[in-house]
Structure 1
């Protein structure tokens, strides 16, 4: 017995498992630490910017909805016929019906909003002054016309289209009822001739907007911004308003007012245009608490990871040992078997896969011992089989020698038919017993058909009419042996011999569109439907061995690219069609029909 090969020193399974466990543990921790150190801070800032911008965008939509609601109210009042009529006459008595109807119109339009906004109506001369609250002095056109007061919205109306609404935040003030006016909406009042009669101003109190924004209370401040006038007013702290000088972070935007978010000192500031207006909404979040919270979380995570790493080291040691011990024992027993000690030893493992492996190894050892016992008997049987195989090779040679003797005698005595049958039979016999090649060309198959039909014509005479055609381009195509001759033989034996009258057999091999088509047709008695099963695989357990043999060999070579069909009608004959690609490597499956 050969000596066991000596292996160079290598890492043990236990060492490798322990190393792999540690790598799996340490690599994610290292990646996480590197990620936080390199880009964690930037990602945190990017996240805060996105969140702040989303909050501002949502609040901008809410502010837009509120402004659009009051702008619609302003449009209703400024175009109402009663308002136009009163301002055209430019006089209004407090006890007149028109005064009563006008107040009813104002309060009806502002129903539910009088604690959030006030409606103010004034004629160009200032004689007509109506308000749902105390009429603001800043809109009294009798004294100064407001043209000099840039904080009055009336002085700003020249900047907009005559029929459009003007929204301004420059008129921030404290109303007589103690509420802070943060925005005003102005519309001109025109008569049918297009003459400007006066103005309608809606003053929005801080509560009208602050109640609709910062619902999650995440923003530290939220400003309503006019970028043309460089003016801003806070919606969360109504006492904070004025030019950009009071809000330094707005200057840091540097003109980038459309959906921008940036770091301004310790805060994250985002700004977005309010849809449908020329105003903007700017919100800020103090980033320091978030950064401190994340730092605390990372510190706690680091401590937890240190403790987890120590525990993982201990557990990795135990796990590696529990996995490597059964493999080590199995390797030791394999070495004993290699030395010739074919003795099984059952060892149970707590791990099911290892237990199965140990059981399989012991079973293999017992089988090896049994096989060694049987080897001597098999060697004797092999010698006997070889002797019989050599003897069986003599039988075909004896048969060929006998046919050659008959052929020589037939030629000597001038028996041409006997001579022809002997020659053709020899060719048939040589083709069927030649086992060196499993395939032959279609030309060889057709030569075999010619030999077989020659014998049958000598037997049946002019009663048998044959039509054999081989496309020259198909001559060199190789197919499994004996796929046409059995079909011709079936046609004569089962189809023609029971029939009276003329017998006709047609065999054609043609090429069309890259496929080979083989057709075997007879005008015999045929067979009724149901004689053959729909699925040719079922022929394996039937008496139609020849057809099944052809089907299986074609299936193995061409797969699903092969097509086999058998059509038969009682009293009219049978047609067998076979087609397959001329390149067998293209085959992937099988189809067949009956």
Structure 2
């Protein structure tokens, strides 16, 4: 893992391949995901629409047959012969009543044949029970049948309807013992029973109740409707009445066994999603306007999305193909882009080893071409600079040789002057000896250019040697006084700072004075800075002369260093806030003030 990370961080090609790969694959994955989502949504909406239309057709067909049952009941209720014969029923079972029963049964049988799927028609009153069916053609005297029927919920509900039709299912045979053959139908493992429509039977003349009319429809009619219009999915369908009782059930997978399957059916119609036995189901339900029954169908999402699986596999295959293609493309593009850079890196390594004759040949006009062109220019310039350095080094060696040769001359001069000094001592010329000694010391300190800064103590010693020579030259026509604080003697100053300033005072201030000339050197600390003042009592300097001196038009006769040079060296070493200031009045003398930072030597290093 660390090696891969190290390679990724160091290799532009690896990062470029990753960038190209991610740039290609992420849109593909997003496109595949959105395609799958869109396909799933389209198929779900299509299934919902088709199933809803199918369920509407199922309910329409069921309502058609239920309306047929109502038509049969209406024809019977408004049949004059049936009404007149029913008024004769009194429970005597005499010849007239038996004849009336036969006439009623004949009319019921006739009505039975007028509607497909009607299994039986019966009339029930306080004193009679008459039935007509496909396989029953006799009257039941049966004292117990009316009392048993009146105990059923459907009987009480029909009586409360006040003449409106009531639809339900025929109760189980275990709860209603009659001579009517009640058939149960098994549909996909579900036992279903016939549908019953019950309605109060009233006298068409008086409106008084004569009994209750029941019409039973074979359950296979509904099963045929559902089978013919089934949506094609392995879904489950159930018909429930307004009280939640099951009217019809096709449920091979036992999905409606869960209470969640029928929970929340508050609207007349709707589509929602439910979780039944841990599986996501699409639930679609519709309500019959005639009977109030609800048709509910459950379709597993696994079946709805089955066609999408092909799209999913196809999308995955396309993504894999594009993935491979993107890897090849990324490798190809990164190689094409990085190859010139690799060549450049290879040549740079040669340059690192000193080979400046390399050249990167390219005809590209892009950034890499620009980089290659500048690389060639850089190597050519480096080659030129190397040649210049060789020439400079050669000149430097020659200068060092010349300097080494020049060192012979001062030593020869020191030795010669020393010999002259001792000759003067032998002959008793002490002044000549002292002057030569001062000159030797002054030359030795000024020629030794190794130290740029020296302590103020040494700078004053060198100045004293210079003053001693000048006093002997001018026959002691001037004197010098030193007012130097002990605490500043260890402060460091740039070398040859005071001598050019004292020389300036001699030649521009005191040169015209034959005697009584005085130079005063003051050195002390002021506000944390070292301040030196050179004061003379000479003729002073005009403003123009001061400008000429500061412009460097006058140089020291001893060192060749001008006052301007002293000022610039001070600012270069110490900063722009330091340097020289002149105060001069013609006929009254000149004062030169020098400001230094108060730096001392301690352990060989400068400290503030």
Query: Shorter-chain-normalised TM-score: which range?
Result: 0.3 to 0.5
Q: What's the TM-score once normalised by structure 1's chain length? A: 0.42
